Structure 1
Amino acid sequence: MIKGVLFDLDDTLYNSSEFARRARKEALKAMMDAGLHTSEEEAEKVLNRIILQKGSNYSMHFNDLVKALKGYHDPKIIATGIITYHNVKFSLLRPFPDTTSSLINLKSKGLKLGILTDGVTLKQWEKLIRLSICPFFDEVITSEEFGLGKPYPEFFQHGLNKMDLKPEEVVYVGDREDRDIIPAKSLGMKTVRIFKGKYSDNKETIADYSINSLSELPIIVEKL
């Protein structure tokens, strides 16, 4: 019997990739207006390389970008980038259209709901609060809190422990095959792959179920 649902956050409950892309683009334009003498294409190429090397949760992307392009840290340009990025991203931040109604549906069934996400704890909580969906969740578990993140099965087991649930009692929902579906399935959870975000083009999956919209999830849970 299913007693709980664990969700990934980014690109599962909201369009993280698209919001971040648009925010970075506007931040680069503002930095160039503030004195970063380069082309938009070159700035984007260098920034993408830094993100690939340091990861999306690294906090000094714009610092490294300015250092790479100017040879030194220019605080005015760095601050312009940071402020513009956050202003644009948070002005756009909203759940997928069917996220809230699906969470209401699942919660009405008496299920425990949790978030299992890589990232800095305060930043992930900020997203949930800005998305206006944090009241739905009984637990929010982050990689920073645990010390390990995805795809380590220990992280997923930690999430189960915090929710006081067994693997066979939980449905796990995520957008990535390697970091979500494979480790969750290895522990015995029922898995649902949602085709959203930048990894959605790869349709190959070992998930028990695949969906294009969160509105499909309550039907699956009801069957289980």
Structure 2
Amino acid sequence: MVRAVVFDVGETLIDETRIFTRWAARLGLPAGTFLGLIGACAATDRPLSDAFAIARPGIDLEAEIARWAHDDPEGLRENFDADDLYPDVRPALTALRDAGLAVVVAGNQPPQARAALEAMGLPVDAIRTSDEWGVEKPDPVFFARVADLAGVPASDVAYVGDRLDNDVLPAADAGMRPVLVRRGPWGYLHAERPEAARCAVVDSLGDLVGLLAR
């Protein structure tokens, strides 16, 4: 029985379109070109960082982020806010809590992401990031931390994410119930793979109540 639902962040709760469109402008590329590079990386199992390296060979991403912060200290830059939430997020999280499930957010995110998420006033019980834990998905230690945070055995946790490799299959290996949300470049592509048969696939977070709250 599922007693806690844990969510990834990027392309699960947060639509990253605006983030990568701003990055395209920063890198001097048309938005469609940079988004296409991201999609190509998703399709060929290359890390997201390769899209930046292809767009600007030799880029030092951390140094570029620091320069961007200096150039535009008041802008969102590579960050997100409540305007980037997918529209089904608040209703789905509320419905899950109303159904008696614990709701947690835990994903691979930089230090500022937790404050950004907390500022949204989401109906969740806890928010944590890989940065503060010092471990990233798909490391099994991350998912052990998830279960500890949820306060229930791993077998009672559903982990919801947009990627098979980073999110739902490692969660399944940790004993959790895996749920793939089919959105974002990885979500659409990974839903077509044979390995997706190991998890539930949903097109909206609104489908989770009927799937999990039984």
- TM (norm. structure 1) is 0.73
Distance 1:108 1:98 in 2: 15
Contact 1:119 1:142 in 2 (8 A): yes
Change beyond 3 A, Cα 1:157–1:90: closer
Give the match for residue 60 of structure 1. 63
2:98 counterpart letter in structure 1: S
Report the CA distance between 1:85 and its aligned residue: 5.6
Deviations 1:126-174 (A, max 9, x none): 33145x243x222222212221110011111111112211011111100
Deviation at 1:61, TM superposition (A): 2.5
CA deviation profile, 1:105-130 (whole Å, cap 9, x unmatched): 00111211111111223x11233145
- Over residues 21-75 of structure 1, what are the superposed CA-to-partner deviations in whole Å (9 max), with x where a residue is unaligned? 111234346xxxxxxxxxx47xx799811899999xx543256xxxxxxxxxxx6
Query: Which one of the candidate residues 129, 133, 136 is aligned to 1:149?
Result: 136
Contact 2:143/2:171 (<8 A) preserved: yes
Q: Which moved more, 1:172-181 or 1:92-101?
A: 92-101
Q: Counterpart amino acid of 1:23?
A: R
2:113 equivalent in structure 1: 124
Q: Cα RMSD between the aligned structures?
A: 3.3
Partner of 2:167: 180
Looking at structure 2, the residues matched to 219 and 111 of structure 1 have their Cα atoms a distance apart, in angstroms, of 12
Q: Which one has the bigger helix percentage?
A: 1
Alpha carbons of structure 1 residues 21 and 103: separation in structure 2 relative to 1, 3 Å: same
Counterpart Cα distance in 1 of 2:213 and 2:139: 29
The count of residues paired between Structure 1 and Structure 2 equals 193
SS in 2 for 1:93: helix
Does 2:6 correspond to 1:3?
no
Pick aligned residue for 1:201 from 171, 188, 208: 188
In structure 2, the residue matched to 1:112 is 102
Q: Quick check: 2:19–2:77 contact (8 Å CA) kept in 1?
A: no
Decide whether aligned partners of structure 1 residues 50 and 161 sit closer, same or farther in structure 2, where only a CA change above 3 A counts: farther
Quick one: which amino acid aligns to residue 126 of structure 1?
A: A
Q: What secondary structure, in the 3-state scheme, does the structure 2 residue paired with 1:182 have?
A: helix
Contact 2:7 2:160 in 1 (8 A): yes
Structure 2 residue corresponding to 1:189, chosen from 154, 176, 184? 176
Counterpart position of 1:72? none
Shift of residue 214 of structure 1? Answer: 0.9
Q: Which structure has the bigger radius of gyration? A: 1
Q: Distance in 2 between matches of 1:78 and 1:146?
A: 24
Match in the other structure for 1:66: none
Task: Please give the secondary structure, in 1, of the residue aligned with 2:84.
Answer: coil
Q: Please, which runs of 5 or more residues in structure 2 have no aligned partner?
A: 38-49
**SS of corresponding position for 1:86:** coil
Task: Point out 4+ residue stretches in structure 1 off by more than 6 angstroms.
Answer: 44-47, 50-55
